[in-house]
Structure formats: structure tokens, C-alpha cells
Amino acid sequence: MNIVTKINDWQTLRKNLTGRSIGFVPTMGHLHAGHLSLCERSRAENEVTVVSIFVNPTQFNQASDFQLYPRTIEQDTSLLASHGVDYLFLPDAESMYADHYQIQVTETELSRELEGEFRPGHFNGMLTVVLKLLNLVQATRAYFGEKDYQQLLLVKKMVAALFLPVDIIPCETMRAEDGLALSSRNSRLTPEQRQKAAHFPRLLQSGQCAEDITKQLELLGFKVDYIADRWQRRLGAVWVDDVRLIDNVILSP
């Protein structure tokens, strides 16, 4: 696996990949089986697979969340190499934001509700860095998990609006045995918190109305940001003490 840390070095390497199909998996690291499933899908569908790891400071609306985000680069590198990834791109924030974040990507409708309401500025940061990465990698296909469903919709909308020549490939949410959607933040849960967190996906899938699910989660001690039905999905965001979890499930007809 080739590890590239400098944007200029990557741009030089990219010229040598012209004519080959490229799959791209953007991540913030602390990789789990969900990330690796995206890599495996990319490898099956493309000649070259590129993974980026970049903990993007502009999409954290709380500085403490950015500081606490797990960084496990040695473990991540080993996992990616063992799964046959061709290139790992590891840019730094100074290079990615040489303009000091003066240029931003903003969406004005879809990004205002749900996650956008509770995490002001988050989607600006996410869309801005995804656009930068897509421009750098110039992938044939880019792979995004459906757990962050609103993010997925926004990335697809941006790609269509800006005529980017890349196919955005949605990938099904991977879950642990207890039903909890795999997330890098799960590692911050204590065993007791983890046991409590498993009620969240169970209730989302219960078929009850959003209002009843909200009441039950609050009785169980969750702080609920939202439970809402949009886009043929039931989406939710909750807090288990100081750890925020999001999830969604397909609504039955």
C-alpha cells in the first residue's frame, strides 16, 4: 500500500493512474468493519482503491468533540494494507485549508433540518472537505455508508449540482450483534453505556410512531435530539451521556 501525505505528491501520482477505474473511500479514521466493507466493495468494482483519512476540523461544531475523536493511524494503516487498499491519502489540515476556510460549500435547504439544526456549520464543513477530496482523487466511484443518510443525500446533491464526474455509491449500514450501527464513536461508550445504547436501534425498528419512540428513549435516560420520518427513512440522533449517536432505518410501506 502506498501512503501519501502531501497533496502535491498525490497530484503527481494521480496523473499516472489515468485510464484506470478508481474507487474512493473518504474516512476520518478509527476504522471499523463498516469502513472495511466500503473498501471491499471498492476493490470489487474498481482497478484501484484509494482511502483517505482526515479528521476534518471544520465539520465539528464542538471543539471538544474534535479533540476527543479517536485517532488510531497505525492500526488503521495496518487494517487497510491487509484489505488490499492501493493508496492511503493522509493530508494535513494546513494543506487542506490553505485558504483558512474562506471558501466554503453551502447547501440552503436539505442541510437546515435534523443534523443541520442540531449541528450548525457541520454540513458546510463536510461538503467543503468532500468537494476538495473528490477534486483531488478524481475517482470513478466514491463510497458512502447509509448510516449518515442526510450526509449521503447532500453529497449526491452537490455532485449533481456541480457536475462532478463521479458516481456516489451508497452502502448499507453495518451493525454489531446488538444492533448498534457501527461508528467510530462507539468506542467511547463504557460497557454500561453500550448496553443502554442498544435500545436506540431496537426502538427505531420497532414500528412505533416517532413520538412514542422519543418518549420511550427519554424514559430510558437518553437525551433525544430528534426522531423524524424523512425520505422513506426513520432517522434519529440521541445522546448517551456525552456520546452522540445517529442512526436510520428504512420505513415499511
Active site residues: 35
What residues form DSSP beta bridges with 168? 142
CB 158, CB 217: distance < 8 Å:
no
Question: What is the Cα–Cα distance from 30 to 72, expressed in whole angstroms?
Answer: 5
The helix/strand/coil state of 134 is helix
CB 58, CB 97: distance < 8 Å:
yes
Question: What is the Cα–Cα distance from 211 to 22, expressed in whole angstroms?
Answer: 44
Task: Write the CB contacts of 114 (distance below 8 Å, at least 6 apart in sequence).
Answer: 150, 226, 228, 230, 235, 237
DSSP string, 190-252: -HHHHHHHTHHHHHHTS---HHHHHHHHHHTTPEEEEEEEETTEEEEEEEETTEEEEEEEEPP
Question: What is the Cα–Cα distance from 168 to 160, expressed in whole angstroms?
Answer: 10
Q: What is the DSSP letter of 188?
A: G
Cα–Cα nearest to 131, from 110, 112, 104: 104
Q: What is the DSSP letter of 185?
A: G
